[in-house]
Amino acid sequence: MRKPALLFQLAVVSAALVLAGASFAGPRPRVHEKSVPPDVATVPVTVVVTALGPNFSAPPAISKDDISVYSNQTRENVVSFDPARGPQAGIQLAILIDDDASPSAIGSHFAEIKDFINAQPKTTEVGIYYATAGTVRAAAKFSSDHEAVASKLRLPLGHFAGASPSVYLSLQDFARHWPKNDMRHEVLMIASGIDRLHPGLQSPYVDEAIHQVQKSGVVVHTIYTGGFRLANSFEQNVAWQNLSRLAEDSGGQQFFQGFETPVNFLPIFRQLNIALGNQYALTIDMPRSNRKNGELRPIKIRTEQRNVHLSYGSQVFVPGPGS
């Protein structure tokens, strides 16, 4: 049985993390607004934004006029805010499973994972990949033949020396080498979140993974599967927070059902499908970076719509002269 103090602590941390990555309707923040000077060279930057109502419900209609975007104290010009449907509906969705994960933690959910894959629309290409040895191995590459992809699902190898020193190294490598195309790039990462190369706080490998997915424009959704193997440990708390921060800073959804509760994939997949079906392509004009290879810049997105939760990457990549 969980101690009340632990429950209270988790509730406080959860609330803080959610508020950190969320944008809710309400009064605009009081900032000393600046505008981009008209003679400054700008470049279009596109951001994937997920809009949800309370409890993963569909949001009201949102238009370009309902959106404002800030980078530091500068209000950026919103070019468009279009629903990711029709010609813009394409997604490449990578299911990334940590090969270090407990086989029983994944194997008991094979049917739900396969049903989730088969339920995706034809505009979604799904791939199954395993994080191992700091890179990824494809069990099934991206394809709209969902049945064929689902048939390639296998059990993770489980923990052994050198299997997966850090799932975050694998994610970095995957995001860095993702082929460029016009589809949305999204990852569903199923992992314990443990970084065995740096199991303590402030892992440089987690930081670099966040940096790389933001630079590559990859949205990462995470499912925590630590379970009883890590019950009530410091390592467990750090692992969960790593996954949460990764999802929030990339604009994804983080799914966590408790440290001592077996993961139930069905409600997770229902919520994820709702999130994927309520995404927008936001294009903003931003001053081009003076750095040769571009840079990441922080953004804040606000909406005039009430009771709408916006998820988006906390930083966007702005190209430079050599990008």
Query: Same domain, yes or no, for 44 and 162?
Result: no
Query: Same domain, yes or no, for 128 and 145?
Result: yes
Question: pLDDT per residue over 254-309, tens digit each?
Answer: 999 877 667 899 999 999 999 999 999 999 999 999 999 999 999 999 999 999 99
Query: Same domain, yes or no, for 169 and 152?
Result: yes
Query: Same domain, yes or no, for 77 and 168?
Result: no
pLDDT at res. 13: 43
Query: Same domain, yes or no, for 165 and 107?
Result: yes
DSSP letter assigned to residue 66: G
**CA 265 to the chain's CA centroid:** 17
Q: Is residue 26 part of a domain?
A: yes
Residue with more model confidence, 147 or 240: 147
Q: Taking all residues of the chain, what is their mean pLDDT, rounded to a whole number?
A: 86
| Kind plus residue range of the DSSP H or E element containing 142 | strand 135-143
Q: Is residue 13 part of a domain?
A: no
What's the helix, strand, coil split of the chain in %, to 5?
A: 30, 30, 35
**Above 90 in pLDDT, residue 39?**
no
Query: Same domain, yes or no, for 250 and 233?
Result: yes
User: Mean pLDDT, to the nearest integer, of 32-54?
Assistant: 83
Q: Is residue 8 part of a domain?
A: no
Question: pLDDT per residue over 184-235, tens digit each?
Answer: 999 999 998 888 777 778 889 999 999 999 999 999 999 998 754 554 577 7
Helix ranges (H only) for the chain are 4-21, 103-107, 110-118, 146-150, 167-176, 204-216, 234-250, 265-276
**Gyration radius (Cα) of the chain, Å:** 20
Residue with more model confidence, 185 or 8: 185
pLDDT at res. 32: 52
Q: Is residue 41 part of a domain?
A: yes
Q: Is residue 1 part of a domain?
A: no
User: Mean pLDDT, to the nearest integer, of 21-50?
Assistant: 67
Domain that holds residue 314: 20-84+280-318
pLDDT at res. 102: 76
Query: Same domain, yes or no, for 254 and 239?
Result: yes
Query: Same domain, yes or no, for 107 and 44?
Result: no
- Sole residue written with tokens 């299911």: 95
Query: Same domain, yes or no, for 162 and 266?
Result: yes
**By C-alpha distance, which of 50, 69, 74 is closest to 248?**
50
Query: Same domain, yes or no, for 159 and 34?
Result: no
Q: CA-CA distance, 262 to 58, in Å (whole number)?
A: 28
Query: Same domain, yes or no, for 253 and 141?
Result: yes
Pairing of strands 218-224, 254-255: parallel
pLDDT at res. 8: 39
pLDDT at res. 86: 76
User: Mean pLDDT, to the nearest integer, of 27-39?
Assistant: 55
Task: Please report, for the domain that includes residue 265, its CATH number.
Answer: 3.40.50.410
User: Mean pLDDT, to the nearest integer, of 13-39?
Assistant: 48
pLDDT at res. 234: 77
Question: pLDDT per residue over 129-140, tens digit each?
Answer: 999 988 999 999
pLDDT at res. 259: 75
Neighbours of 122 (CB within 10 A): 10
Give the chain's domain count: 2
User: Mean pLDDT, to the nearest integer, of 242-254?
Assistant: 97
Q: Is residue 49 part of a domain?
A: yes
Indicate the pTM of the whole model.
0.86
Q: Is residue 112 part of a domain?
A: yes
Query: Same domain, yes or no, for 66 and 98?
Result: no
pLDDT at res. 5: 41
**CA 232 to the chain's CA centroid:** 26
Q: CA-CA distance, 76 to 78, in Å (whole number)?
A: 6
Q: CA-CA distance, 165 to 208, in Å (whole number)?
A: 15
Q: Is residue 154 part of a domain?
A: yes
Task: Please report, for the domain that includes residue 298, its CATH number.
Answer: 2.60.40
